Structure 1
Amino acid sequence: MTRPLRKLYVALFLGVLSLLLLWSLRGVLSYQAPNQFSVLDGNLATNFESHYDKQFPIKQLGTNVWAALDYVLFNEGRPGVVIGQHDWLYSAEEFNPVADGRQHQRDNLALIRGVREQLAQRNVRLLLAIVPAKARLYPEYLGDQRISSQRADLYQRFHREVRNADIAAPDLLASLQAEKSRGQLFLRTDTHWTPLGADLVARQLSETVNRSLALNGEPQAFVTEATQQQPLLGDLTSFLPLAPLFERLLPEPDQLQQYQTRAADQAGGADALFADSDIPVALVGTSYSANPNWNFAGALRQHLQRDLSNHAEDGQGPIVPMLKYLQSDEFADAPPQLLIWEFPERYLPMASDLDDFDPDWIAELKNDSRQQRLATTASRCPPYP
């Protein structure tokens, strides 16, 4: 910013701050305490807060104004979003370093190896789907934004570690990079992939499975049909609080073509049951797998030609849904033949909230992984093909 522009920004800030102060005093002076109240139980503070909020409608104006100034003058949003070029938005989790990230990475890798051992005890094969960061697949829109050194080679390090642990994990980044000319693979204003990106990943995973594993049951035909196209203002726009006053400054919404997959011998319908009662595949993961907008589970059904049970969850990261599934009655009573674990790379150096799990069990998982790693190193086992 030039010096005059900085002075203008400061003047605008002080001016709006003065207006907000005067308006807030009006709300304070007009307050009348209830006839009966107690200072000790907090009801008076709650009552005052409710009155103050009702008398302070300019709060929305202040939020919108400063969001607009940050967006227009500095090309910035609220913490959590990185603004690229041509209305491309990225999650800040793909860029910023994490405190104690190296330790979290070691812990998560130990849990991944421990999960593999738990599955192996039930004769379940694990296929890890490491979802590359959007910024890694579309660096051409980053402009001057830079990824921290902690995350710069995270995808490659993640792959190297799991391959050394003899865990199957195809290179999805290379596959997606090779198909970028076919269409947009990640949404411009959202963290997630498009249905096309999800379908390409599902196809790559299915090819990996078919080369090394004969799934139980007879192949079953699934068909995927386009349903509707609608504008989608992605999740990353929530870090740009410009609406309603400056809504026109927001990036143009993505155009999301939605799809639905069904068994070929069904009449259709979102609630129809799949015909094959023997489900050899389970899917665990994040909102990349749980959200029906991307139809990832449907694309897997179509390419694998098998039904699957989907245990992915929104907003929990990849670790917690997996641990829940391992402790579920479904896994105990009817373990699948194959488990596909969708795991976005950005979560590897991040801590998960494991307070709902027995710490002794978590420690046992990590300890099992260390013992297996020593055994694998001693036997010089080659990486999984």
Structure 2
Amino acid sequence: MKPTLFAAPLLAAACLAAPAIADPSTFRCSKLDTASALPSIEGKDGVFYRVLADLRMRHPMEDPVVAQMAALSDALASGGTTLIYVTVPTKSQAMPDYLPPEADDYAFDRDTAKLVYQDIVGRLSASGVLAPNILSALAGASPDKPAFFQADFHWTSEGARLAAAAIAETIKAQPSYADLPKSEYRTVELEKTAAFSTMRRTLQAFCVDELPRVEAVAHRTELVASPDEDVADIFAGDDEAAQIVLVGTSFSDSPLGNFAGFLSEYTGLDVVNYAVTGGNQFGGMTSYLTSRDFAENRPRFLIWENPIYNNLAQFGPDPMDELVAAAGQTCTTKLPVTVSGPNSVSADLAGLKLGPKDVIFADLGTDGPREALFTLKSATGITRNATVQRSDRMLASGRFFKPLASVWHPDLTELTVTFDRPVSEATTLTLCTSSSTLKDYR
């Protein structure tokens, strides 16, 4: 297994070196680096960096996760969707020139930080996942139009524009792009607008003078001309496949960023934004891929934006395995169900040769539920339970995919799924069998 780049030698060197002398704070800030809420340091020209996220030198993207991403890309491609995985760099990777001398105390090295980013997108690309390098574009931002806000970790509208332009080049290079009808989009400037920033508010408590506001000239992207006057909405149930769906975090959801708008302008394609602020790495992606919208109208391109510090292995293999099952074409074996309680349905598994790579798809049949408890019993009396949950920020589609790896037993005989809502005749259980056409990521 090829290890991810990290900075152990640099860390050792930093421990032996004398601490850097911090410059006086421009905003009379004190004890920022030891703040329990958000340890940070103040850089040049009022640019602030988070210690735990921005100065971190190791961002995990291990080989098993890369293989899962390849399986996800293959599963989406089997249904006609091209995955574009966008790794958003940290502010320190994109704007290292503004770091203060004390960044050395945290073993931050700008060259290694750049290599860490390149290593991740390089290994994803080598596995067949389209992973554009947007760090180069963001690092090229001019000083008068920085890529990130000074007192916030999100990108500015300029950063969003530069990222969108780089991603558009990747999309335009795909063979399927040429056959799509193009439209003309124009981005116009609006009035200067301020946005609320949790980071700025947290840091302000440690500073006497007012920190730079998170504000910028807002933008709106408008459709100028379309080859089809009746442009179909992605969720209208039209037979025409959606062109681009964007999922991700607050980087994609921020109104000041206008990221989706810039993507439309540079690709000439309609973009529907499915991002979830506060959803972390899986909020937007899981919400969309497990939705009826995706199942009934798969897009031509699916852009998944995720900051580099959001570890895809943080919650184990199940979240990624669920995405692979939801994206693929293998959920075809309907299981006969019986109502076993007000909120429960059961299925007889006797005679089925279930493997640890198989997945159970439980669909309540209506929106609303945020939790499904999977209970599996074996012929030898063993019972195993696992719960799949959706946070309050995620879409409650009532559709849950449970990989069997963590609960598998050779002689499973009975399955019961208990939702947090009443079941009905529309409630179904389906077996998603492992496919030999997908890459083995175990």
> Which bin holds the TM-score, normalised by the shorter protein?
0.5 to 0.7
Which blocks of at least 5 consecutive residues in structure 1 are unaligned? 1-69, 267-272, 376-385
Task: Please report the RMSD computed on the Cα atoms of aligned residues, expressed in angstroms.
Answer: 3.6
Aligned to 1:193: 155
Equivalences for residues 59-138 of structure 1 within 5 A:
71-72=29-30, 76-85=34-43, 86-91=45-50, 92-96=52-56, 105=62, 108-138=65-95
Secondary structure of 1:264's counterpart equals strand
Q: Deviations for 1:320-359, whole angstroms, at most 9, x for unmatched residues?
A: 3212221111111110111111121111366259542544
Shift of 1:173: 0.8
Q: Which residue of 2 aligns with 1:226?
A: 189
C-alpha contact 1:282 1:309 (8 A) present in aligned 2: yes
Aligned to 1:155: 117
- Per-residue deviation at 1:111? 4.0
CA deviations on 1:211-235 (whole Å, 9 max, x unpaired) are 2234354211111111111345633
Aligned partner of residue 126 in structure 1, secondary structure: strand
Structure with the higher strand share, 1 or 2: 2
Q: 1:369 to 1:203 in 2, by over 3 A?
A: farther
1:336 paired with 2:303, answer no
Q: Following the alignment from structure 1 to structure 2, what is the Cα–Cα distance between the partners of residues 191 and 105?
A: 25
Distance 1:311 1:111, change over 3 A: farther
The TM-score, its normalising length taken from structure 1, stands at 0.66
Question: What CA distance in whole angstroms lies between the structure 2 residues aligned with 1:274 and 1:301?
Answer: 17
CA distance in 1, matches of 2:150, 2:40: 12
Query: What is the alpha-carbon distance in structure 2 between the residues aligned to residue 235 and residue 319 of structure 1?
Result: 21
Matched, 1:145 2:103: yes
Separation in structure 1 between the aligned mates of residue 32 and residue 280 of structure 2, nearest angstrom: 31
1:136-285 matched pairs, under 5 angstroms: 136-143=93-100, 144-146=102-104, 152=113, 153-180=115-142, 183-215=145-177, 216-232=179-195, 234-240=197-203, 242=205, 248-265=208-225, 275-277=231-233, 278=240, 279-285=242-248
Count of matched residue positions in the alignment of Structure 1 and Structure 2: 294
**Against the structure 1 CA distance between its residues 334 and 145, is the aligned structure 2 distance closer, same or farther, given a 3 Å change threshold?**
same
Deviation at 1:161, TM superposition (A): 2.2
8 Å contact kept, 1:191–1:234: no
What is the DSSP-based 3-state SS (H/G/I as helix, E as strand, rest coil) of the residue aligned with 1:72?
coil
Higher helix share: 1
Q: Quick one: distance in 1 between partners of 2:120 and 2:404?
A: 24
Q: State the identity as a percent.
A: 22
Q: CA deviation at 1:114?
A: 3.4
The one-letter amino acid of 2:308's match is E
- SS of the residue 2:154 aligns to: coil
Name the CA shift for 1:202/1:75 in 2 (closer, same or farther; >3 Å). same
Aligned residue identity for 1:306 = L
Contact preservation (8 Å) 2:66, 2:127: no
